[in-house]
């Protein structure tokens, strides 16, 4: 989200479209806040350290309790690794700044589309699991977020096609709209089957 909104902010400035810039500037602030909270609650950015004498020790060495103090970098429940996410985000935003400085709107639009499509594609990874299982586990597809994504993409597709006539704006959002519709269709079908399984 941070990468996507940062790149679109630069694109909005480059093509002089205030709606693109202002809405994504809000996204940059919110995503930065989300990341800060997530990293803080994950133990911070300090490397994982072994602390002696903690009461909840997992190992004992010569009578001395030791425990590993977790950090954000020690998480294993994310796609890829935290370092990969930080490196990729930094690289893409840096490339976006370079394309903005060099006044290369087409290349910047390509970066924006890549980030946007990845953002919209990530929730679709669960659809195959839901279809194979035959039901939708609780929280597998957050309906409020999906509906908000669909509405957001509908507005941006309309703005990009009717107002700007800019394929770089309407194309990824049309994909996001289709992705949101697909998620709603899956939860409508397999969410009902899940309820029937519990009733049976």
Contact (CB, 8 A) for 196 and 134: no
Has residue 19 been placed in a domain? no
pLDDT at 52: 43
Inform me whether the pLDDT recorded for 138 exceeds 60: yes
Has residue 122 been placed in a domain? yes
Q: Which domain holds residue 139?
A: 116-200
Has residue 178 been placed in a domain? yes
Has residue 151 been placed in a domain? yes
Task: For residues 77-90, give the mean pLDDT.
Answer: 82
pTM here is 0.76
Has residue 32 been placed in a domain? no
pLDDT tens readout for residues 54-65: 443 344 444 444
Number of domains in the chain: 1
Residues 6+ apart with CB under 8 A from 197: 135
Has residue 163 been placed in a domain? yes
CATH code for the domain of 184 = 1.20.1280
Q: How far apart are CA 157 and CA 41, in angstroms?
A: 36
pLDDT at 140: 77
Has residue 123 been placed in a domain? yes
pLDDT at 44: 78
Q: How far apart are CA 112 and CA 105, in angstroms?
A: 10
Has residue 200 been placed in a domain? yes
């Amino acid at each position: 989200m941070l990468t996507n909104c940062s790149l679109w902010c630069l694109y909005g400035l480059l093509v002089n479209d205030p709606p693109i810039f202002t809405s994504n500037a809000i996204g940059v602030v919110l995503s930065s806040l989300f990341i800060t909270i997530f990293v803080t609650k994950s133990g911070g950015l300090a490397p994982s350290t072994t602390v002696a004498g903690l009461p909840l020790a997992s190992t004992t060495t010569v009578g001395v309790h030791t425990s590993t103090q977790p950090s954000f970098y020690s998480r294993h429940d994310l796609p890829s690794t935290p370092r990969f996410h930080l490196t990729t985000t930094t690289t893409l935003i840096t490339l976006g700044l370079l394309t903005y400085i060099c006044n290369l709107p087409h290349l910047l639009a390509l970066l924006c589309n890549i980030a946007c499509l990845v953002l919209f594609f990530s929730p679709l990874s669960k659809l195959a699991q839901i279809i194979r299982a035959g039901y939708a586990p609780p929280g597998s597809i957050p309906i409020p977020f999906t509906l908000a994504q669909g509405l957001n993409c509908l507005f941006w597709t309309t703005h990009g096609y009717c107002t700007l006539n800019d394929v770089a704006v309407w194309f990824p959002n049309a994909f996001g709209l289709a992705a949101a519709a697909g998620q709603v269709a899956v939860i409508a079908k397999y969410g009902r089957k899940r309820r029937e399984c519990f009733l049976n």
